[in-house]
Amino acid sequence: MIDIEGQPILTAAEMRAAEDAVIACGVSVETLMNRAGTAIAHVVRRLAGVNEVLILCGPGNNGGDGYVAARVLAEMGATVRVAALSKPKTAAAKSARAGWSGVVETLAEAKPAPIIVDALFGTGLTRPLDAEPVPTLSRSPADAGAQLSSKGYPDGLLCAPASAGEQTVVGRLHFLANAAQLRIAVDLPSGLGTDSGQALSKPPVFNLTLALGAVKPAHLLQPAARYCGHIRLLDIGVPTTSQAEVLKPPTLANPGPDAHKYTRGMLAVIAGIMSGASDLAALAAMRAGAGYVTLLGDTAGPPHALVRTPFSDHALANDRIGALVIGPGLGRDGIARSRLEAALTSNHPLIIDGDALRLLDPERIKALKVPVILTPHAGEFDALFGKSDADKITRAREAAVLTNAVVVFKGADTVIAAPDGRVRIAQGASDWLSTAGTGDVLAGAIGAMLAAGLDPLDAACAGVWLHGDAARRLGPAFIADDLAEALRSARGAL
């Protein structure tokens, strides 16, 4: 089992292409399925102990993985049962089914077990599951493992059509999941759109999802990600590369003996009408490790290490400024507009956040000749780039190209995109981040990284990582001030 930090993220089509490349070199689908099923079986065996395992198999290769896992688990001495939705459709799944010598129960009538393994649907799911009826038997079968007919009903047994509610695929999955102590999904919880991150049908929430060969967008994008539980990658010997990767901890240099405040990076934050927001950004930058932070505006108060200076073109013209944050608490009045204009013409690398994003259009951003990082939340993103049904990765990528800027598309599934097509996606963000001011903290943290000289994508990634890690350290009900302070611990842990 591999931790997914830093791993490539592949769409369903990219994963199929990666598999096809291996198959073209002479490796059969059956071999890949055997590797997948065997790896799944070993994980399940470790977690299940002596408890009974119920594997739910679908018609495609995801189901095929399930049959292989069942066979291997049985060979290892585990107590394992299999329940199928319908008979296997693909050649590899048929061959995997043939390798399972035990009974195959119907999904409709399978009794619960303490451990369930969902191998119903993986990357092949193309439509919602809710309306799909599960075949049921009109009498209790002595051996429900009878061959399933082409309609998906067991041959030789009279089948009744499914009734509503629990007798849908989703209903059965929820019923069996609710009764289980441990829920494990093969590749993806059944019901999720692999690339969109949408729940085509709402699956139960799993404890563990075993990604096969590569991480997929649905493992990270909301709402799909929250059904996956912990995600671990299983290697099936398919080489993968992608411009999209899971965010990993940054490598940041600590100050050396020759360091001084300016070598560690000088950040300027422009204040506006709501000084609390720019204060948070400034504090965050200091706690993320900036050497010198100056706040330009009419503000007052601690910390004493923060250099508060009235806003002026002269203050902005300081060559030592390595990066400039504009937007937190800026407002949208005349003063805000003139400060934004001064920032855009200052020649300093820019982090553009909050209100500043509402005062700009993509063409103006693209025309800037300095490195730019944009940090919109969903509302700001829609206002700047328009609404769209495209997935979050595509939207972030297109926005980065359109503006020639690094775009940090925030949310519970923050997507960071560079104009060259590289994408990084954060995993496991604390939902407690949904509190006022945490975006200002992020802008400051990214500002500290850009001022220290990191390239814009690395700076954005490092800031998002530190921000997410600080939140994880704080647990519940923190406020943005706590988060800014906790950046210090996050920085220290690297």
Ligand X SMILES: Nc1ncnc2c1ncn2[C@@H]1O[C@H](COP(=O)(O)OP(=O)(O)O)[C@@H](O)[C@H]1O
277 binds ligand NPW (CB under 6 A): no
Please say which residue, 201 or 346, places its beta carbon nearer to ligand NPW. 201
161-200 binders of K ion (CB under 5 A): 185-186, 190
Fill in the per-residue mask, 49 to 88: x = in contact with ligand NPW (CB under 6 A), - = not in contact: ---------xxxxxxxx-----------------------
> Using CA atoms, how far apart are residues 165 and 88, in angstroms rounded to an integer?
25
94 touching ligand NPW, by CB under 6 A? no
Binding site for ligand X (CB under 6 A): 354, 377, 410-412, 414, 429-431, 433-434, 436-440, 442
Least distance to K ion, CB of residue 224, Å:
12
Nearest to ligand NPW of 133, 362 (CB atom): 133
Of 109 and 481, nearer to ligand X (C-beta) is 481
Cα separation, 79 vs 102, whole angstroms: 11
Q: Calculate the CA 459 to chain-centre distance.
A: 19
Instruction: Provide CB contacts within 8 A for 164, sequence distance 6+.
Output: none
3-state secondary structure of 230: strand
The answer to whether 94 and 156 have CB atoms below 8 angstroms apart is no
- Angle (CA) 197-202-203 rounded to 5° is 95
The residues, ordered by sequence, that sit 6+ positions from 462 with a Cβ below 8 Å of its Cβ are 250, 252, 445, 446, 449, 454
Interaction of residue 118 with K ion, rule CB under 5 A: yes
103 binds, among ligand NPW, K ion, ligand X, none (CB under 5 to 8 A by kind): none
Rg (CA), the chain: 26
Compare residues 145 and 444 and give the one whose CB is closer to ligand X.
Answer: 444
Binding flags for ligand NPW, 109-128, as an x/- string (CB under 6 A): ------------xxxxxxx-
For the chain, give the number of residues: 494
Q: What is the DSSP string of 430-494?
A: -GGG-STTHHHHHHHHHHHHHHTT--HHHHHHHHHHHHHHHHHHH-SS--HHHHHHHHHHHHHT-
**Which lies closer to ligand NPW via its Cβ, residue 129 or residue 148?**
129
Name the residue nearer to ligand X (CB basis): 171 or 428: 428
Task: For tokens 């944009």, name the residue.
Answer: 374
Quick one: what does residue 118 bind among K ion, ligand X, ligand NPW, none, with the CB cut-off 5 to 8 Å set by partner type?
A: K ion
Cβ 63 to ligand NPW shortest distance, Å: 6
How many residues of this chain interact with ligand NPW, rule: CB under 6 A?
28
Position 105 contacts K ion (CB under 5 A): no
Let me know how many helices (H) and strands (E) the chain has, helices first. Answer: 16, 19
State the binding string over 356-375 for ligand NPW (x if CB under 6 A, else -): --------------------
Q: Does 132 bind ligand NPW (CB under 6 A)?
A: yes
Report the alpha-carbon distance of residue 80 to residue 117 in Å, rounded: 10
- Closest contact distance (angstroms) between CB of 333 and ligand X is 18
CA nearest to 309, candidates 261, 350, 267: 267
- Judged by CB under 6 A, the residue of 4, 9, 10, 32 near ligand NPW is 32
Q: In angstroms, what is the minimal distance from the CB of 238 to K ion?
A: 18
Q: In the bound complex, what is the minimum distance in angstroms from residue 383's beta carbon to ligand X?
A: 13
CB of 213 to ligand NPW, least distance (A): 6
Give the list of residues 6+ apart from residue 134 with CB closer than 8 angstroms, or none. Answer: 85, 106, 107, 108, 162, 167, 168, 169, 171, 172
Residue 64 or 145 with smaller CB distance to ligand NPW: 64
Q: Output the CA torsion 59→147→93→195 (10° steps).
A: 10
Q: Which residues bind ligand NPW (CB under 6 A)?
A: 19, 29, 32-33, 36, 58-65, 89-90, 121-127, 129, 132, 186-187, 212, 236
Q: Which residues bind K ion (CB under 5 A)?
A: 118, 185-186, 190
